[in-house]
């Protein structure tokens, strides 16, 4: 059966969730959080103080605990409880391999210290880009609300972007996608600003065998609804000043 009541389903080792079609390395866990957990987080995102949202032309976002300034996290307060639980302990609970206890075992703070929340109404996306040098090269993205495709792109010899994606990853609601290593440093990622993802099939989706509900896409279509993503990363530089800043400089 392709669909069953929502429950968390974690692999004993992350290696079991590896997207084998991709270069080193990406992992996809379809049932990383439950429907109740998804609803609780969505409620917190939607009811966050208005000052928390930054409106871009088509998309809006929140950063927790704060923005980066010159690649540095200024506000060193811990993540709020609703972003910490259940995601962070769950991320840290999955062994990567026999000799690496978890995904953040070799990162400077041993855990993610920053969350970016992006909201994508249908027909919005994000231009192809690399995440750059501010972060330890492990990106953990939890998807909420709707499925969409993340595209991976290669730079051409002359440095220009090849506009055809080399791979597509379908991210279902409640899933976790992890990208690391060469995939972090050598490839660009982006989301097309379209109302429906088309031509979805076993042949075109890199993580097809790891999907929760492949039968939903039998017609090759994913009609998008609003999707919220939570991107967990470890920011390498944290300001010592940050924890001493007065309340005037802090967002609620
Ligand atoms: O929302 C996503 O899945 C991707 C977000 C992203 O690439 C970024 O914020 O750097
Ligand atoms: Fe990114």
The SS3 of residue 235 is strand
Distance from chain centroid for Cα 38: 14
Q: Is the pLDDT of residue 153 over 80?
A: yes
Please report whether residue 252 resides in a domain. no
Residues 73-96, mean pLDDT to the nearest whole number = 95
| CA distances to 56, 169, 183, 188, 212 from 128, in Å | 16, 14, 13, 6, 26
ipTM: 0.98
The CATH number covering residue 112 comes to: 2.60.120.590
Q: Is the pLDDT of residue 246 over 70?
A: no
Task: Report the range of poorest mean pLDDT among 89-98, 158-167, 184-193, 223-232.
Answer: 158-167
In the chain, how many domains are there?
A: 1
Residues 44-67, mean pLDDT to the nearest whole number = 95
Q: For residue 118, which atom of ligand 1 is closest to its CA?
A: 1
Tokens 């080193």 sit on residue:
24
Please report whether residue 120 resides in a domain. yes
- Give the pLDDT band of residue 243 (cuts 50, 70, 90): low
Please report whether residue 219 resides in a domain. yes
Please report whether residue 6 resides in a domain. no
How high is the pLDDT of residue 100? 87
Domain of 199?
14-242
Q: Is the pLDDT of residue 247 over 80?
A: no
Q: Is the pLDDT of residue 210 over 60?
A: yes
Please report whether residue 180 resides in a domain. yes
When the pLDDT of each residue in the chain is averaged and rounded to a whole number, the result is 93
pLDDT tens digits, 174-205 = 999 999 999 998 999 999 999 999 999 999 99
Tokens of 151: 């595209």
Q: Is the CB of 126 under 6 A from ligand 1?
A: yes
Q: Are 244 and 77 in contact (CB under 8 A)?
A: no
Global pTM value: 0.94
Q: For residue 141, which atom of ligand 1 is closest to its CA?
A: 3
Q: Which of 126, 135, 185 to mutate to test the pocket of ligand 1 (most atoms within 8 A of CB)?
A: 126
Q: What does the alpha-carbon distance between residue 44 and residue 32 come to, in Å, rounded to a whole number?
A: 18
Residues 46-71, mean pLDDT to the nearest whole number = 95
């Amino acid at each position: 059966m392709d669909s069953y009541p929502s429950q968390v389903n974690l692999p004993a080792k992350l290696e079991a969730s590896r997207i084998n079609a991709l270069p080193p390395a990406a992992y996809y866990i379809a049932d990383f959080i439950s429907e109740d957990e998804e609803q609780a987080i969505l409620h917190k995102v939607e009811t966050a103080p208005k000052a928390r949202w930054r409106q871009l032309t088509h998309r809006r976002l929140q950063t927790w605990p704060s923005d980066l300034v010159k690649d540095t996290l200024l506000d060193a307060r811990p993540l709020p409880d609703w972003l910490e639980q259940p995601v962070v302990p769950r991320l840290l609970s999955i062994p990567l391999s026999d000799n690496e206890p978890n995904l953040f075992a070799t990162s400077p703070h041993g855990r993610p210290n920053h969350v970016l929340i992006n909201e994508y109404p249908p027909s919005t996306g994000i231009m192809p880009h690399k995440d750059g040098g501010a972060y330890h090269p492990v990106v953990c993205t939890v998807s909420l609300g709707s499925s969409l495709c993340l595209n991976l792109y290669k730079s051409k010899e002359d440095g220009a972007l090849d506009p055809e994606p080399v791979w597509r990853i379908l991210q279902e609601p409640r899933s976790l996608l992890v990208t690391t290593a060469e995939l972090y440093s050598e490839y660009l990622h982006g989301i097309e600003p379209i109302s429906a993802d088309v031509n979805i099939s076993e042949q075109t989706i890199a993580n097809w065998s790891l999907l929760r509900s492949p039968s939903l896409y039998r017609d090759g279509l994913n009609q998008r609804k609003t999707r919220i993503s939570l991107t967990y990363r470890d920011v390498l530089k944290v300001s010592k000043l940050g924890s001493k800043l007065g309340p005037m400089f802090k967002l609620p």
